[in-house]
Amino acid sequence: MEKKISILGVPMDLGQSRRGVDMGPSAIRYAGIVERLQRLGYTVQDLGNIAISEEKNNTSSEQNLNNLHAIVKTNEALASKVDEIVKNNEFPLVFGGDHSISIGTLAGISQNYQNLGVIWYDAHGDLNVPETSPSGNIHGMPLASSMGFGHELLTNIAGFAPKVKPENVVMIGVRDLDQGEKVLIKKLGLKVYSMHEIDRLGMARVIEETIEYLKDKDGVHLSLDLDALDPTECPGVGTPVIGGVTYRESHLAMEMLAESNLITSAEFVEVNPILDEKNKTADVAATLMGSLFGEKILEPSGKKVII
C-alpha cells in the first residue's frame, strides 16, 4: 500500500431515510483513526469533508430516486477529489456517510485503472435500480450504478460508464437482497459470498478465494459498510440485519487483505452515531482500518504492539 494516506469525509445522509449518518466521518475521526494510522508509520493527511449539496427532495414518482440531483452533485465533487488523490500517488481513504457515496468514490478511482477490482463488504447487495427499488433510496443502488445499471445521471458520474466490470466484483457478507437484486446477480454471474458461504467455508477461505480471484487486477477497492457486521457488534447503522459477520471474522478479513497488498483504495460507510452505543460502531471501523493497514497483535519479532 501507499505510505501516504489521504482521508476524505463525505457527511451525506441523502441516500437513505434515517438521519444521523452524516455525522459518521466525525465519529470515525473521534475514534482516533488518524493517530492509529500514524503509529503504523503512515503519513496521514486529513483533507476534511466534501461539501454536501442542499438540493434535496427533487424526486418524482416516475424516477423513484430520492434526492437524485443533490446526490449527483456531491458525488461529482467527490469523484474529482478522489481522482486527484490517486494521481498524487496517495491512498484514498473515504469516510461516509451513506453508501451512495461509493458512486463518487469509484468514479474517481476507476479513472486511474484499466481493470479495477472491487470488494463489496456489505449485508446488502446495493444492486437496485429505480424500477426495482422498494424505497427509492439511492444508498441501495451504488454497486448497480457503478457497473452501469440505473439512471444515467448516476451511471455517468465523471462522464463515463461503467466504472467497474461485473466480473471484477466480489461481494462478501450478503444476507438481505431484494428480488430485483437477486435477478441481477444471476444475470451478471456476480461472485457472491453470502453468510451461508462464510458459515460453511469460514472467513479465511473466503478471503483466500477473493485474493486469488482479484490478484491480477491493477487495483482493488474495498467498500466496507459497517452493517456487514452483526448488529451486536455494530449497532450504529441505519439498516441492521441480524446474523452478520463477527468482529473477529472481519479483523481476519482485513488482516489477510493487508498481507495480500492488493488494496489500493478503501471507504468505510454507514456509521450512524445517533443509533450507536458510546461510539462503538465508529470504534470498530477504526480498528478494522488498523488491521487493513497492517496493525497486528504481535510484531514478527514477537514484540507486542501497544495500541
Stretch among 36-50, 52-66, 134-148, 209-223 having the lowest mean pLDDT: 52-66
Q: Is the pLDDT of residue 141 over 70?
A: yes
227 belongs to an annotated ligand binding site: yes
* Catalytic-role residue among 225, 233, 255, 276: 225
199 is catalytic: no
* 126 labelled binding-site residue: yes
Q: Is 216 a catalytic residue?
A: no
User: Which listed residue (76, 83, 98, 139) is catalytic?
Assistant: 139
Decide if 227 is catalytic: yes
Reply yes or no on whether 139 is catalytic: yes
Q: Please indicate if the annotation marks 22 as binding a ligand.
A: no
Helix residue ranges per DSSP H, 88-202: 102-110, 142-146, 152-155, 179-188, 195-201
| 127 in Cβ contact with 133 (< 8 Å) | no
- Top CATH class of 4-292 equals alpha beta
pLDDT of 5: 98
The pLDDT tens digits for 87-118 are 999 999 999 999 999 999 999 999 999 999 99
Judge whether 251 is annotated as a binding position.
no
22 carries an active-site annotation: no
- Residue 267 has phi, psi (to 5 degrees) of -140, 145
When pLDDT is cut at 50, 70 and 90, the band that residue 63 belongs to is confident
* The three cell numbers locating residue 223: 467498500
Assess whether 178 carries a catalytic annotation: no
The yes-or-no answer on residue 221 being catalytic is: no
d(CA 229, CA 173): 8
The whole-angstrom separation of Cα 108 and Cα 104 is 6
| 122 in a known ligand binding site | yes
Q: How far is CA 137 from the centre of its chain?
A: 17
Cα 54–chain centre separation:
23
* C-alpha to C-alpha distance for 298 and 243, rounded to whole angstroms: 30
Share of the chain above pLDDT 70, in %: 94
Q: Does residue 69 carry a pLDDT above 90?
A: yes
What's the confidence (pLDDT) of residue 2?
A: 65
**Is the confidence at residue 305, as pLDDT, over 70?**
no
Residue 1 has pLDDT above 90, yes or no: no
